[in-house]
Amino acid sequence: MINYIIRRVLYGVLILAGVNLVTFFLFFSVNTPDDMARMNIGGKRVTQELIDKWKVERGYDKPLYWNDKEQGTEKLTDTIFWERSVSLFTLHFGRADGESAGDIGHEVATRMWVSVQLAAPIFLLQVIASTSFALLLVMFRHTRFDLWGVVLCVLMLSVSSLFYIILGQFLFSRVLRLVPISGYASGLDAVRFLILPVLLSALARLGTESRLYRAMFLEEIGKDYVRTARAKGLSETVVMFRHVLRNALIPIITSAGSYLPYVFLGSLVFESFFGIPGLGAYVIEAISKQDFAIVRTMVFVGSVLAIVSYIMIDIAYTWADPRVRLT
């Protein structure tokens, strides 16, 4: 397994390099450093002196890919590509493009823990709630509970997450006044601000995940090992939880694990609506301000999370099914 993980990490580095190169090329083919300077300091009616000053402060006064003025090894290192793209692999994210924005690395490190406080309970609650509801539907299959449960899942997956946010804020914050409508506080006080977005986010995906898991469980209960377990006199609960659930874990792990990077990057919609200063809100702010340095950094961070999550999924396969061997 160690050799497999090392090989996957090396593949991941190559993928990161490709994503990084394509992202850098796309960003700078659309906007030149002069265009970025104009957007950040006042549009088109700015002097060339102000543009040059902004480029010097941000490090955009250097050549884009190659420095013809130098000879030797500094031809590549003394470029925007090296300082703004290659440096991401050393977790040196540099400074944001905005006038009031600071060091990107400090912002990412600070906001990451806020997003984790929101993401971890969302992920756990989604998996537990969706799996439990799907198992209940299968246990009471061909009954009214199963019928109306499937109808409810279809209705829930047809509704936008914005509906849950607006309804939840109105009901629990405006009417019942149980939780704050938005904002964030550190320490234990964060629970009051995070409990509503956590519940609403889990509820928004309950229909989609439950319907998918129900289909997986229904496929398993028709197999021979389930009939054998029932023939031994095992109860339906034992059959469902000890046999069906265990054998359906691989598709569940795949589905849940593939969603993990998006959860830990922070929900763009939920963090923005609830005023939570996480990575999702950071991305929204950067896009609205056209801060390309932050957006490029978050694309890189998202790629790292995706690669790590897929490696974790492969490792989890060996735990779910001992027959799986990573070679």
The CATH number of the domain holding residue 130 is 1.10.3720.10
Residues 148, 240 share a domain:
yes
d(CA 221, CA 175): 45
Check residue 325 and give its pLDDT: 72
Residues 134, 74 share a domain:
no
- In sequence order, what DSSP letters do the residues of 263-314 get, joined into one string? HHT--HHHHHHHT--SHHHHHHHHHHTT-HHHHHHHHHHHHHHHHHHHHHHH
Check residue 75 and give its pLDDT: 57
| Domain assignment of residue 103, yes or no | no
| Domain assignment of residue 99, yes or no | no
Residues 229, 311 share a domain:
yes
| Domain assignment of residue 28, yes or no | yes
| Whether the Cβ atoms of residue 256 and residue 126 lie closer than 8 Å to each other | yes
| Domain assignment of residue 31, yes or no | yes
**Domain region containing 78:** 2-90
Residues 179, 69 share a domain:
no
The two structure tokens encoding residue 111: 């906001």
Residues 158, 246 share a domain:
yes
In order of 144, 210, 267, the CA distances from 150 in angstroms are 10, 9, 26
Question: Residue 103 in 3-state DSSP?
Answer: strand
Q: Which residues contact 59 (CB under 8 A, 6 or more apart)?
A: 80, 83, 84, 94, 95
Check residue 100 and give its pLDDT: 64
Residues 138, 73 share a domain:
no
Residues 238, 181 share a domain:
yes
Residues 251, 174 share a domain:
yes
Residues 192, 63 share a domain:
no
Residues 86, 127 share a domain:
no
Burial of 63 (0-12, 13-18, 19+ CB in 10 A): middle
| Domain assignment of residue 98, yes or no | no
Question: Residue 50 in 3-state DSSP?
Answer: helix
Residues 212, 256 share a domain:
yes
Question: What are the φ and ψ backbone dihedral angles of 103, each rounded to 5 degrees?
Answer: -70, 130
Q: Which of 90, 118, 149 is the last residue of a domain?
A: 90
Q: Which of 90, 119, 151 is the last residue of a domain?
A: 90
| Whether the Cβ atoms of residue 295 and residue 284 lie closer than 8 Å to each other | no
pLDDT in tens, the chain (327 residues): 788 788 888 888 898 888 888 888 888 877 778 878 887 777 556 777 888 888 887 778 877 776 555 444 455 567 888 877 888 888 888 888 776 667 888 888 888 888 888 888 888 898 899 999 999 999 898 899 999 999 999 999 888 888 888 999 999 988 988 888 888 888 888 889 999 999 998 888 899 889 989 988 988 888 888 888 888 888 888 888 888 888 888 888 887 777 777 666 657 778 888 888 888 888 888 888 778 888 888 888 888 888 888 888 888 888 777 777 776
Residues 150, 285 share a domain:
yes
| Domain assignment of residue 325, yes or no | no
| Domain assignment of residue 21, yes or no | yes
Count of structural domains, the chain: 2
Check residue 143 and give its pLDDT: 92
Q: Which of 25, 56, 90 is the last residue of a domain?
A: 90
In order of 57, 60, 67, 76, the CA distances from 63 in angstroms are 15, 8, 6, 9
CB atoms within 10 A of CB 244: 24
Burial of 239 (0-12, 13-18, 19+ CB in 10 A): buried
| Domain assignment of residue 294, yes or no | yes
Q: List helix spans (H) across 31-160.
A: 33-41, 48-58, 74-77, 80-84, 104-139, 144-158
Check residue 73 and give its pLDDT: 45
The two structure tokens encoding residue 187: 């320490």
